[in-house]
């Protein structure tokens, strides 16, 4: 990839038209996404009550999990006020979809905005990101810290435990530096989530509810964590200290263009065009592909393919000297 040094290149103005919000596209996206999601849930509950083999329900839950991820993308756009022209509409929809994905609207909005303003900054790690140590930090750490870090960066932990831990437990509490509004938002979301389980208990029963919803939740949250991980964890990702950190380079070089199959790209709400999203968070998800296709400069970013994304799982430390993510095995070399 070309080294991008300009902080404010003139061509950035070309992105402005793609920030245009379409009420028709937004409503259509909500109808299709929620309609398909609840339709799949209805089919799965019917199958469960009809003694259909559980493997068939699990098969459908993978697809339902994809739509669950897409619901999170709509929630995500609402947090950026890029889904509806009205901030009030974004806030209302954000609270509704936030409850569906077990995430507080105001609290997540605040931490996610911080992520956008600090992504790729080595001196401001720790909020809204996957913790990444430098080679020197790791070398100078004590034995227990190294063990904890290795466990945390292990794919089994990252994608087998973290998704459930994050959405089911950690999201029930305010993040650090939360204000009164964020705390109230977390409490309100927790109450609504509890009501969902109470209603399920007194209607279809808690066990049938969990048999259907648990795999959907697990697959959906895992897909979401995987997307977030690969958007900022690849070999030539951009990291810099505060004095050298550049917003433009953090967006274009520190956020991937994750090249996915059209079906996966659609289910993930085009979030694979993550470099564009970090350049202009106000661009709605349904405009990201056209933006990429029509602005040549955005294609200077080398895409991360599906195969390359799996290779990135072994890259766990930032080498400040060579400016690359490297594996633990590189330390012995």
pLDDT in tens, 247-279: 999 999 999 999 999 999 999 999 999 999 999
Work out the average pLDDT over 158-187.
Answer: 94
14 three-state secondary structure: helix
Sign (positive/negative) of CA torsion 123, 127, 128, 134? positive
Sign (positive/negative) of CA torsion 285, 286, 289, 290? negative
95 three-state secondary structure: helix
pLDDT band at 89 (very low <50, low <70, confident <90, very high): very high
291 three-state secondary structure: helix
Instruction: Identify the pLDDT of residue 333.
Output: 67
The percent of residues in the chain predicted with pLDDT above 70, rounded, is 98
Under 8 Å between Cβ of 112 and 94? no
- CA 291 to centroid of chain Cα atoms: 20
Average pLDDT across the chain, whole number: 94
Which DSSP category does 273 fall into?
B
Q: Is the pLDDT of residue 117 over 90?
A: yes
Instruction: Identify the pLDDT of residue 7.
Output: 59
Instruction: Identify the pLDDT of residue 280.
Output: 96
Under 8 Å between Cβ of 110 and 178? yes
- CA 290 to centroid of chain Cα atoms: 21
Work out the average pLDDT over 104-115.
Answer: 96
Instruction: Identify the pLDDT of residue 2.
Output: 47
- Range list of β-strands (E), 143-231: none
Under 8 Å between Cβ of 102 and 171? yes
Q: Residue ranges of the domains in the chain?
A: 10-332
What ranges in 80-161 are assigned the alpha helix state H? 87-100, 105-118, 135-139, 143-152, 155-160
| H/E segment holding residue 317 | strand 317-319
Q: Is the pLDDT of residue 332 over 80?
A: no
Q: What is the pTM of this model?
A: 0.93
């Amino acid at each position: 990839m070309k080294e991008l040094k300009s902080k404010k290149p003139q061509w950035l103005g070309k992105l402005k038209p793609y920030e245009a919000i379409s009420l028709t596209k937004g409503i259509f996206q909500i109808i299709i996404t929620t309609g398909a999601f609840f339709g799949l849930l209805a089919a799965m509950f019917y199958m469960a009550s009809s003694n259909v083999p559980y493997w068939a329900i699990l098969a459908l839950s993978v697809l339902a999990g994809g739509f669950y991820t897409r619901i999170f993308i709509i929630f995500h756009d609402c947090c950026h006020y890029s889904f509806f022209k009205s901030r009030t509409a974004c806030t209302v929809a954000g609270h509704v979809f936030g409850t569906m994905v077990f995430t507080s609207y105001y609290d997540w909005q605040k931490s996610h905005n911080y992520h956008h303003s600090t992504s790729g900054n080595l001196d401001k790690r720790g909020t809204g990101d996957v913790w990444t140590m430098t080679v020197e930090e790791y070398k100078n750490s004590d034995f227990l810290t190294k063990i904890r870090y290795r466990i945390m960066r292990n794919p089994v932990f990252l994608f087998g435990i973290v998704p459930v831990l994050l959405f089911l437990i950690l999201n029930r509490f305010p993040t650090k530096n939360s204000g009164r509004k964020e705390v109230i938002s977390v409490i309100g979301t927790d109450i609504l989530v509890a009501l969902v389980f109470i209603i399920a208990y007194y209607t279809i029963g808690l066990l049938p509810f969990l048999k259907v919803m648990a795999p959907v939740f697990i697959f959906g949250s895992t897909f979401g964590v995987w997307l977030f991980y690969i958007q900022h964890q690849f070999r030539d990702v951009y990291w810099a200290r505060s004095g050298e950190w550049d917003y433009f380079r953090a967006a274009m070089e520190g956020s991937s263009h994750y090249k996915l199959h059209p079906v996966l790209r659609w289910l993930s709400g085009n979030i694979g065009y993550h470099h564009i999203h970090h350049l202009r968070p106000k661009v709605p998800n349904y405009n990201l592909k056209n933006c990429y296709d029509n602005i040549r400069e955005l294609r200077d970013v080398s895409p991360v393919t599906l195969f390359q994304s799996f290779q990135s799982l072994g890259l766990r430390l930032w080498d400040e000297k060579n400016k690359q993510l490297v594996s633990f095995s590189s330390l012995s070399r």
